[in-house]
Amino acid sequence: MPENSRLVEADYHAHKEALDSALHTLRAAEASRLRHMDATLETEALWPPCRARVALAEKLQKPRAIQRRCQRYLLEVIIPLAEGVCSKHWADDPSKEALRQARDLVSACSSAWLEAMSRKLSPEAHVGEASVTRRAWLHMLHRSGNPRHKEVLQLPEKWQSWLASLRQAHLARLCPSLDMDALQRFLQTISLASPVMQEVSTAPPVIVPLGLFTVWQALVLVALARREGRHALVVRRQAAGTPQVLFRTSSAVLSTGQ
């Protein structure tokens, strides 16, 4: 789990006091956005009610705050997957295959998004593949952060469900206390983003080894696998023997009775 995770205690009184104080000086539209962000931090980043949650919601409302977070997520989570670089420590064949699968999933998603958004986001002829991938992913990240945007509301259900799962993977980075229970909840939510992503698949599952991939990369890889109708296995490798399975998307889907 990330080293900066910390336990945050719920404080309902302090939360209400801080939120009321913040809302007091805002116009109606700004107040609505702040309430929405505060509620989003609770449901999608597992923040308990407290003064710090309101402060974070306010911070995220500042100009360019979301843009900076999207840029950072792109550079720290997506680009390493797109480049598929393997360190000497993970130079074995299973690791190389996992990296290849991750690279293919990232590339396929950006290509599909560019095709779906061809009238609004057509790549220029002189732009290289890496730049096109970055551009497509940055656009997806921005749109996932604003589910009420008219462009998002006009998308087919499969794309809306994908953006919902991407938003969950992105906002999970804001979770203050990411333990194994929280990780399981995030994986469950991403696996079941919508009925479109709950269909049972017979294709081979995508193997996602923690350690080779960060927790944040594992979340988005599970989302990408489900976008393609495939299942995923999140595993932790042991010093010897069979890797420990931490999460199966197939189990999450079957538990819903689909």
CA–CA distances in Å: residue 25 to residues 12, 38, 153: 21, 16, 30
Question: What pLDDT was estimated at residue 246?
Answer: 93
Please state the rounded mean pLDDT for residues 17-46.
95
Q: Which one has a higher pLDDT value, 124 or 209?
A: 209
Question: What pLDDT was estimated at residue 125?
Answer: 41
Tell me the pLDDT band of 95, cut-offs 50, 70 and 90: confident
Please state the rounded mean pLDDT for residues 48-64.
93
Q: For residues 85 and 191, give the distance between their C-alpha atoms in angstroms, rounded to a whole number.
A: 26
Please state the rounded mean pLDDT for residues 28-48.
95
Q: What percent of the chain has pLDDT over 70?
A: 83
Core vs surface per residue 203-236: b (16+ CB within 10 A) or e:
eeebbbbbebbebbbbbbbbbbbbbeebbbbbbe
1 pLDDT above the threshold of 90: no
| Contact indicator for 252, 188 with CB cutoff of 8 Å | yes
Question: What pLDDT was estimated at residue 193?
Answer: 73
Please state the rounded mean pLDDT for residues 65-92.
83
pLDDT one-digit tens code per residue, 104-157: 999 999 999 988 887 665 555 434 566 888 989 999 999 898 877 778 878 888
| Phi, psi values for residue 2, rounded to 5° | -55, 145
Q: Which residues are CB-neighbours of 194 under 8 A, at least 6 positions away?
A: 157, 160, 161, 164
pLDDT one-digit tens code per residue, 144-202: 988 777 788 788 888 888 999 999 999 999 999 999 999 999 999 998 875 555 555 67
Q: What is the mean pLDDT of the chain?
A: 85
Question: What pLDDT was estimated at residue 2?
Answer: 55
Cα–Cα–Cα angle for 166, 169, 75, rounded to 5 degrees: 85
Question: What pLDDT was estimated at residue 254?
Answer: 55
Residue position matching structure tokens 């749109």: 143
